[in-house]
């Protein structure tokens, strides 16, 4: 039997999948190239959301400019994270890398609480609802989905069509011989960190349109972003892209049949089962 509400839930799941895919992409790129997991990735997203809120609400900066500034700032944060935190622990056991980036996570949460308090902040925008033959969709979600797809496409073109993008893919396959190609590995790592940060900034601007920002917002998006990356095979960008849509369907359709919280429970349960069945991810390299 055709159920229009189910169809609405599925389409909402696809829209959510686009944003999750974008979130996962930056984390996956950094892991695939530098072999380090940015545990504090969702906190970079938080920095972007606060930047937009602060510029737009406090200083009345036009939204597009606030968004551009946030993307630039988060990109710089990615570079700083690499230079100050990651570089000293490159080549040390992975547990050290997890601990330092985990430390950055708590530092950023605490810093955000000090700077902005624990209140939930929002942009105060009223985004229209779009009605398509008796189904209702949030315009913010449609916008986020479209932007996420464009972001994914631009990144893909960059990685496959340019010298720099090709070097970013090559370095994870053989770092040692990169100088023979005329490539300075340190520059590639910095560029990758800037792009990874930039992706977090783009995700921040899409999320800021839909959600309130608060110091613990990273906990809402961080775990699911990691699970998507792991399910897709850490470092496998195509795998992460598909996994994002799988997760989004669990959340959206599961939420439709039960409650929205149950959607997350189902998604996480699916993840745990998959880790037993295929621990290296659905699409391991």
Interface with another protein by CB under 8 A: which residues?
A: 163, 166-167, 169-170, 173-174, 176-184, 285
Judged on CB neighbours under 10 Å (0-12, 13-18, 19+), 164 is middle
Q: Which residue has the tokens 């602060």?
A: 54
Q: Min. distance of Cβ 228 from another protein in angstroms? A: 22
User: Residue 187 or 278: which CB sits closer to another protein?
Assistant: 187
Angle among Cα 69, 74, 78 to the nearest 5 degrees reads: 145
* Contact of 23 with 229, CB cutoff 8 Å: no
Rounded Cα gap, residues 172 and 131, in angstroms? 46
Judged on CB neighbours under 10 Å (0-12, 13-18, 19+), 170 is middle
User: Residue 137 or 156: which CB sits closer to another protein?
Assistant: 156
User: Residue 190 or 216: which CB sits closer to another protein?
Assistant: 190
User: Residue 66 or 167: which CB sits closer to another protein?
Assistant: 167
Q: Min. distance of Cβ 285 from another protein in angstroms? A: 8
Q: Min. distance of Cβ 237 from another protein in angstroms? A: 12
In the structure encoding, which two tokens stand for residue 139, read together?
A: 């315009």
* Contact of 50 with 111, CB cutoff 8 Å: no
* Contact of 78 with 198, CB cutoff 8 Å: yes
Q: Min. distance of Cβ 169 from another protein in angstroms? A: 6
Rounded Cα gap, residues 165 and 192, in angstroms? 9
User: Residue 81 or 183: which CB sits closer to another protein?
Assistant: 183
Beta bridge partners of 138: 129
Q: Min. distance of Cβ 157 from another protein in angstroms? A: 14
* Contact of 198 with 81, CB cutoff 8 Å: no
Instruction: Report CA dihedral (99, 100, 104, 110) to the nearest 10 degrees.
Output: 60
Q: Min. distance of Cβ 227 from another protein in angstroms? A: 25
User: Residue 4 or 181: which CB sits closer to another protein?
Assistant: 181
């Amino acid at each position: 039997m055709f159920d229009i509400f189910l169809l609405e839930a599925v389409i909402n799941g696809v829209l959510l999948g686009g944003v999750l895919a974008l979130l996962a992409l930056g984390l996956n790129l950094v892991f695939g190239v530098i072999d380090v997991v940015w545990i504090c990735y969702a906190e970079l997203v938080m920095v972007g959301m606060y930047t937009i809120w602060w510029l737009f609400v406090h200083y009345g900066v036009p939204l597009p400019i606030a968004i551009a500034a946030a993307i630039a700032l988060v990109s710089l944060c990615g570079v700083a994270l690499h230079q100050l935190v990651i570089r000293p622990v490159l080549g040390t056991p992975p547990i050290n890398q997890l601990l330092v980036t985990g430390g950055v996570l708590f530092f950023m949460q605490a810093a955000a609480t000090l700077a902005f308090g624990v209140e939930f902040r929002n942009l105060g925008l009223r985004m229209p609802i779009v009605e398509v033959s008796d189904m209702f969709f949030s315009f913010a979600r449609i916008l986020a989905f479209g932007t996420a797809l464009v972001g994914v496409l631009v990144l893909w073109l960059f990685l496959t069509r340019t010298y720099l993008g090709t070097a970013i893919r090559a370095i994870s396959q053989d770092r040692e011989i990169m100088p023979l190609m005329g490539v300075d590995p340190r520059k590639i790592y910095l560029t990758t960190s800037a792009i990874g940060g930039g992706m977090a900034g783009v995700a921040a601007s899409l999320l800021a349109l839909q959600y309130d920002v608060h110091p613990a917002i990273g906990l809402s998006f961080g775990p699911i972003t990691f699970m998507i990356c792991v399910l897709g095979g850490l470092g496998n960008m195509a795998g992460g892209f598909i996994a994002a849509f799988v997760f989004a369907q669990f959340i959206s359709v599961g939420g439709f049949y039960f409650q929205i919280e149950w959607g997350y429970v189902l998604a996480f349960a699916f993840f745990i089962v998959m880790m037993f069945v295929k621990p290296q991810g659905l699409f391991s390299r």
